[in-house]
Amino acid sequence: MAKSKNKIDVKVGALLLAEPFLEDPHFRRSVVLVCERNKDGTLGFILNKPVGINIGNLLSSFPEFNSEVYYGGPVQTDTIHYLHNKGDLIQDSVEIEKGLFWGGKFDEVIFCVENGLITPMDIKFFVGYSGWGEGQIEEEMSYNNWMIGEVDRNYVFNTNKSEAKNLWSKVLENEGDIYSVIAQMPLPNWN
């Protein structure tokens, strides 16, 4: 169940759901999975913004693998990150939630792909990430820019490109109550 949007309860594994009228083009109708939270700030990845590029087209040395790349956020867009469900195979992975991992040794990702141990349904790649400095997410929460939802592994792995584009509405509908009404709100048309 989504938390009160005025309560600041951002933790690792939470979903940040952009308020329906948030104008920032990087985060409009975005669903961000929080992967790191400490005294220095918060880091996460936008789950619902495919960029229309396959990982093999982005990294020529990557083995043939039919996996769409997503826009993780506006910070360091020259970097590649990944979420996966293979923490038992990829050393140095960070467990976000039970069965949901972030990062790990990239050469082991390549080995697992080459040997069929990882399928496109097991991993999601991102260019860049979303980051907030110390106190920044709390400030944005105080302005009601974000709602907090609960992660479901299906939001990360079991969505194709068209489903990803509708993920914001789907997550809000699944949260229920007033959130299902918010999910139906159209994008504003500021003429």
Query: Average per-residue pLDDT in the chain?
Result: 89
pLDDT tens string 19-37: 988 889 999 999 999 999 9
Q: Which one, of 64, 108, 69, lies nearest residue 86 by Cα?
A: 108
pLDDT tens string 160-182: 777 888 898 888 888 777 666 56
Name the β-bridge partners of 95: 101
- 40-44, 51-55, 78-82, 181-185: lowest mean pLDDT where? 181-185
Question: What pLDDT is stored for residue 189 in this prediction?
Answer: 61
Q: What is the model's pTM?
A: 0.89
Instruction: Decide if pLDDT at 5 tops 60.
Output: no
pLDDT tens string 110-145: 999 999 999 999 999 999 999 999 999 999 999 999
| Fold of the CATH domain 14-182 | VC0467-like (3.40.1740)
Domain ranges of the chain: 14-182
